[in-house]
Amino acid sequence: MANPKITFIGAGSSVFMKNIVGDILQRKALSGAEVRLMDINPTRLEESAVIAGKLVKTLGVKATVKTYSNQREALDGTNFVVVCFQIGGYEPSTVIDFDVPKKYNLRQTIADTLGVGGIMRGLRTVPHLWSICEDMLEVAPDAIMLQYVNPMAINTWAIAEKYPSIKQVGLCHSVQGTAMELAIDLGIPYEEIRYRSAGINHMAFYLKFEHRQADGSYKDLYPELFRAYREGRAPKPTWNPRCPNKVRYEMMTRLGYFVTESSEHFAEYTPYFIKEGREDLIKKFGIPLDEYPKRCVEQIAKWKKTSEDYKKADRIEVKQSKEYASSIVNSVWTGEPSVIYGNLRNNGVITNLPNNAAVEVPCLVDDNGLQPTYIGDLPPQLTALIRTNINVQELTVAALMTENREHIYHAAMMDPHTAAELDLDQIWNLVDDLLEAHGGMLPDWTHGPRKQRVA
Cα distances (Å, whole numbers) of residue 196 to 209, 220, 340, 383:
7, 12, 11, 16
173 noted as active-site residue: yes
Q: What is the pLDDT of residues 179-232, one digit of tens each?
A: 999 999 999 999 999 999 999 999 999 999 999 999 999 999 999 999 999 999
Selecting from 3.90.1820.10, 3.40.50.300, 3.40.50.620, 3.10.290.10, what CATH number does the domain 5-100+108-173+311-334 have? Answer: 3.90.1820.10
Burial zone of 106 (CB within 10 Å; 0-12 exposed, 13-18 middle, 19+ buried): buried
Exposure b/e, 185-201, CB count within 10 A at least 16 = b: bbebeeeebebbbbbbb
Q: What is the distance between the alpha carbons of residues 431 and 280, in angstroms, rounded to a whole number?
A: 29
Domain boundaries, given as residue ranges, for the chain:
5-100+108-173+311-334
Chain mean position to CA 44: 22
150 is in an annotated binding site: yes
Angle in degrees, CA 369, 80, 50, rounded to 5: 145
**Which residue is catalytic, options 173, 265, 410, 417?**
173
DSSP secondary structure letter of residue 376: B
Contact 119, 392 (CB under 8 A): yes
347 is in an annotated binding site: no
Report field, pTM of the whole predicted structure over 0.75? yes
Q: What is the distance between the alpha carbons of residues 413 and 433, in angstroms, rounded to a whole number?
A: 15
Exposure b/e, 409-435, CB count within 10 A at least 16 = b: bbbbbbbbbbbebbeeebbbebbebbb
- 452 pLDDT above the threshold of 70: no
First-last CA distance in the chain: 69
Q: How many residues would you count in the chain?
A: 455
pLDDT value of position 448: 79
pLDDT value of position 454: 53
Question: If you average pLDDT over residues 95-122, what whole number do you get?
Answer: 98
**DSSP code per residue over 242-290:** T---HHHHHHHHHHSS-BSS-HHHHTTTSSSS--TT-HHHHHHHT--TT
Q: What is the distance between the alpha carbons of residues 365 and 362, in angstroms, rounded to a whole number?
A: 10
Contact 70, 276 (CB under 8 A): no
Q: What is the distance between the alpha carbons of residues 404 and 409, in angstroms, rounded to a whole number?
A: 10
Contact 177, 140 (CB under 8 A): no
pLDDT value of position 318: 86
pLDDT class for 449, splitting at 50, 70, 90? confident
Q: What is the distance between the alpha carbons of residues 386 and 266, in angstroms, rounded to a whole number?
A: 11
Cα distances (Å, whole numbers) of residue 408 to 49, 168, 262, 354, 358:
39, 25, 26, 20, 19
pLDDT class for 410, splitting at 50, 70, 90? very high
In this structure, the strands spanning 5-9 and 80-83 are parallel
- 450 pLDDT above the threshold of 80: no
Question: If you average pLDDT over residues 144-168, what whole number do you get?
Answer: 98
Question: If you average pLDDT over residues 259-281, what whole number do you get?
Answer: 97
Phi, then psi, of 439 in degrees rounded to 5: 50, -125
User: Which run of H or E residues covers position 325?
Assistant: helix 325-334
Q: How many other CB atoms are found less than 10 A from the CB of residue 351?
A: 13
Contact 336, 366 (CB under 8 A): yes
Q: What is the pLDDT of residues 358-368, one digit of tens each?
A: 999 999 999 99
172 is in an annotated binding site: yes
User: Which run of H or E residues covers position 86?
Assistant: none
- 278 pLDDT above the threshold of 80: yes
pLDDT value of position 303: 83
The amino acid sitting at 12 is G
